[in-house]
Chains A and B, each alone.
Chain A
Amino acid sequence: MIGYAVQRIGVAILIVLLATTALFVMIQFVPGDPANVMLGPRATPELKEALRERLHLNDSVFVQIYYFFAGLLQGDLGVDLTSNRPVVSILAEQAPYTAMLVISVLLVALMGIPIGTYAAVHRGGSFDQISGVISVSIIAVPPIVIGLYLILVFAIQLRWLPAIGAGEGFWAVIKHLILPTLAIGLTWIGYVSRLVRASVIEVLMQNHVKTARAFGIPENKILRRYVLRVALPATVTVLGVSIGFILSTAVIVEILFSRPGIGKLTYDAVISRNYPVVMGAVLASTVFIVVATTLSDLLNVMLDPRSQDINS
């Protein structure tokens, strides 16, 4: 297990390095001069040139990568071109908002497990059929559409929940999280429930379950100990991978709900060609995704040690 964990962490670091380098190269092809954006139309050409020099924009991409990683090793991701604030400080302020959103979406997505399990156990029943129709329907609707309807109903019509912002204080933060979480999470409840249902049905038909029944073990115990333990690893893997999707959806949802966070920060930075912030934000997202997938792999191995051989 320890060897496997070390191997996974090594791969994770390599992925972060490659993704960061790839992004650096891609940024070179994006049209738009950061010096123009930062200094505006009234700046003189000399001033713009001085800024390009300061940002190493006139250097080759290799030199720029060198400066980026040299800074990264010292915990320095550069400064925001607009406010001159350190990118690290900005990320430290914004990341918790996105982390809260992603974690709350994952928690909401877990509601799909009991729904899928109940539907599988009562296969063909009215709950199975109704949950099947609702799940598939929700999966088909983009989160932005769900978000818009949630805003219309709960923020504008009923005025129960806020439409924008992230709130201050525990209850306000919770309140501001509900609609964005549901906008992304409802789709995942449907998806996870369908996945769990299929896995549980498959496991229910396996011989070890039939044997357990033959021994007269109670159904609840069979479900908990012999069915879910085998059926859930696939769901854990999917949830681990889903963090990438949730983060990309968070960009849209953070814009829709005007929430601070890494997604909105990245979007604003790309629009304004604020490359140090783009690099920092994408690096943070990549680390977040890689850590999540690595943890899900390790959790998988803990739940089902056989998967270590498959993953290795």
Chain B
Amino acid sequence: MTKFTKMGKCSQVIIVCIAGFGISASHADEIRLQTQSDFGQLDPAFWQSSADQTIIDAIFPKLIEFKSGSNWEWELSAAETIEQIDPLTINFTLKKGLMWTGDYGEVTAEDVEYSFERYIDKDLAAPNSGDWAPLKDVEVVDKYSGVIHFNEPFAPVWWSTLPYTGGAIISKAATEAIGGTFSTEPGATAGPYKIEKWDQGQQTVLVAHEGWNGEKPAYDRVILVPINDAKSAEVAFEAGQIDVSGVAVSSVPEMKANMPVDSILEVRPTAGYFWLGLNAENPSLQDVRVRQAITKAVDVDAIIEGAYFGIPERSTGLVAPGLIGYSEEQQPNRDIEGARKLLAEAGISSLDLELELQNSTDEQTTGLIIQANLAEIGINVQLNTHESGTFWSLGDEKGVGMQMTLKAFTSPPDPAWSTQWFLEGQAGIWNWEWFKSEEYEKLHYAAISETDFGKRAEIYHEMQDIMDASHSFVWLIHPPASLIYKDSINPGLLPNGDYKLHAFAPAE
């Protein structure tokens, strides 16, 4: 044996020996999940990212919560009963025996009162105050019962407030003891899980909370691993280091063709929406015929095929499938001749426009397809690619100077959160189309107050029709959430692919 062969053997043995220690595969009662980022804010009135949301939903109780599955339906959680008495009143009774961590005793109606009323506390200045904007107060009837009073009817309370992160209940005593607010270290928690350890940037370890009075979670420990690069997350999954991971849409076809062993791939539409926006205030796009020509010339099916591998369905508006107000009526199909005719009527033979977009692969491919589509009708498109921080500041930087933008918004499962960005007051802030419609404004507020499901759906259909009539929007897709997980796991997922940690269980 030569010296080099010996050295080679030696290093191989060392690597194998080292590899034998500290293998990070999950134990039977433990599950490791990838999150896109680390959490940063656990105060429900201040949460920002989906990682914040995932942990808040696991460590704080809620009166009601969404069921895992493919439909947006809620079920009782900390509440034993809850009932809308009239459009301005909701009665609730808590289950007994739900305990806070530490020495803070039971979860009571006073905690509910404190948790919800702090949203409307001007001194707290919570960025998520909109979750409870019409709240008047919460009346404590006894230790376990209370009444939620509203100043005006508030339909989203059953969709994007109570069962969502805004419905999280925090401990009054524990929070007051730490000054009335917190970021990463709540005074006490009472959800199905509690935080055992947080190594910032590396992992968050949650363990089952012994004071939880609901169904015991199937996994005693949940380890959340922040990996923001989708490809790295896929690699970590394939290397067996995590059990559930997000998958880049671009990886889905390849993964389907070469599925890692004992794995399941799942793709779900989210409540978010991705569209091409045309700024009606920009001099080059003020003529509605020009905007209409662009909407006719863009080949949405080619974008879905070319940039998203045919995975998502074509979007019909800003309301995603499964949500109240979803419309099945698509925008008209591509019509190049019609587009040319409209441009000719507008007296335009050639036009230079700029398209602002982010630097992800799928958005850049979308931009290239739009560029090619519009070239066919004599519009030269310059693609301005930005990283996310720069892109989202364009409203301030460019103002009315913006012409076309590719934008994706996420949304809680209530259309009111989507429609609010296109109010006139949002022009230049988040409404980069400078879309303005008095009728739309009236309908937006009417829909929030409308507690009749059918009538509310009708209002949202009408609002989407008004948006389409402006020819400022080309609806593309509802960005899909793709996940891969081991087939030994039955994942606890909300309809949009978000984790519901205490619903994860071993597959039967």
Contact surface of A with B, Cβ cutoff 8 Å: 30-33, 36-47, 50, 80, 82-85, 90, 93-94, 151, 154-156, 159-169, 171-172, 174-175, 178, 255-258, 260-261, 264-265, 268, 270-273
Contact = CB atoms under 8 A, between A and B. Distances in A.
Interface residues of B, number: 48
A-B pairs, top 9 by smallest CB distance, nearest first, are A172-B22, A171-B21, A82-B40, A43-B127, A32-B389, A260-B201, A163-B239, A155-B239, A84-B183
Nearest to B237: A163
Contacts of A260: 199-202
Contacts of A90: 200
Given A83-B183, A83-B200, 13 more contacts: A31-B390, A32-B390, A47-B127, A83-B41, A84-B183, A85-B184, A159-B19, A160-B19, A164-B236, A165-B203, A166-B202, A175-B22, A257-B232
A27 to B, nearest CB: 12
Contacts of A162: 24, 239, 241
B96 to A, nearest CB: 35
Interface in B413-444: 421, 429-430
B228 interface: yes
B48 A165 contact: no
Given A31-B389, A31-B393, A160 B16 contact: yes
B41 A268 contact: no
Nearest to A166: B202
Given A40-B48, A161-B15, A172-B24, A271 B127 contact: no
B229 interface: yes
B128 A258 contact: no
Interface centre among B18, B233, B240 (most CB of A within 10 A): B18
A171 B22 contact: yes
B24 A258 contact: no
Contacts of B389: 30-32, 37, 270-273
Contacts of A37: 389, 392
Contacts of B214: none
B235 interface: yes
B196 interface: no
13 contacts: A33-B393, A90-B200, A160-B19, A163-B236, A164-B227, A164-B232, A164-B239, A164-B241, A165-B24, A171-B21, A178-B18, A258-B227, A258-B229
Contacts of A44: 127, 129
B452 interface: no
A179 to B, nearest CB: 10
B382 to A, nearest CB: 18
Given A42-B130, A82-B48, A84-B183, A165 B390 contact: no
A110 to B, nearest CB: 16
Nearest to A161: B19
B466 interface: no
B80 interface: no
Nearest to A47: B125
Contacts of A42: 127-128, 130
B239 A265 contact: no
Interface centre among B37, B228, B236, B240 (most CB of A within 10 A): B236
A82 to B, nearest CB: 3
B393 A258 contact: no
B392 A36 contact: yes
Contacts of B430: 41
A255 B200 contact: no
A32 B41 contact: no
